[in-house]
Each structure stands twice: as C-alpha cells, then as structure tokens.
Structure 1
Amino acid sequence: MSEATALPDIDRYEQACDQAIAMCDGNLRSTIKALIMANEYLETELQELQAAVACGCAPRTNSDAA
C-alpha cells in the first residue's frame, strides 16, 4: 500500500499542504497562486476532453470496447 493511501485523509491533506508550501519556499501567496493556476489548467483539460468525448473524437480505451 502506498504512503498516500495509508494515511487518513486529514493527514494526507496536511502533508500535501506542507509540500505545496515548501515547494513555494514558504510563501503562502505563491502557493495559493500555483494551486489556482494548476486548477485552471486541469479544468481546461477536462473541458477539452469532455468536448472530444461529446463529438466522438476521443480515443476508446480497452474497457470501452467491451
């Protein structure tokens, strides 16, 4: 079992927060900005994937073929 799944959710989130803050050298404003930017990127990726699926342009996976 990986360390991330072994920890209770609250501990996992606390650890993730500590890591994000450390990656931004302890600057909380930079941490929040980086997380907002990452979230916007993921939202855009999700919208693009949903559009591709809606028009039938997304590649099928092996589980879709069954």
Structure 2
Amino acid sequence: MSAAAEPAVPAEGDLELAADQAIEACGGDAREAVKALIVANGFIEAQLDELRTKVSTGYARGRLPQARDRKE
C-alpha cells in the first residue's frame, strides 16, 4: 500500500451521468450547476482543512501538507 492514496478515476459514462444530474438539479442551467459545484467544492475543502488540524502529526506520519500547530 502506497503512502499517498491515488484518486479513483471515474468511467467516462459516470462523468456524463453526474454532469447531467448536476445540470438537471439546477433547472437545466449549466452555469448555475458549475457555480453550485464550486460552492460545494469549497465546502468540502473547508471540511478537509478542519479535519487536517484534528489529525495528529504522528498518526499522519508527516503525510499531510500542513503541520498542526502545537499548543504550548
């Protein structure tokens, strides 16, 4: 098992279906779907940053890009 997880690459049909679903969820407006996905991505990145601060450096074994600040 490698230290860095490889992202799963979805099949082309899966991407097309997901894109169609996102556009449909936004009333058929592709621009609104893109904006919604950008907002969702920002939310997920914020959650990831919060979780990174909660993981100890020892547990992560230095694999996380930002080191956790220690309380003195």
Q: Report sequence identity in percent.
A: 45
SS at match of 1:25: coil
Structure with greater contact order relative to length (CA < 8 Å, sep ≥ 6): 2
Question: Structure 1 runs of 4+ off > 4 angstroms?
Answer: none
TM-score normalised by structure 2 residue count: 0.62
Aligned residue-pair number: 49
Matches of residues 48-59 of structure 1 in structure 2 within 5 Å? 48-54=50-56
TM-score normalised by structure 1 residue count: 0.68
Superposed CA RMSD: 1.8
The amino acid of 1:25's aligned partner reads G
Structure 2 portions without partners, runs of 5+:
1-9, 59-72
Matches of residues 33-44 of structure 1 in structure 2 within 5 Å? 33-44=35-46
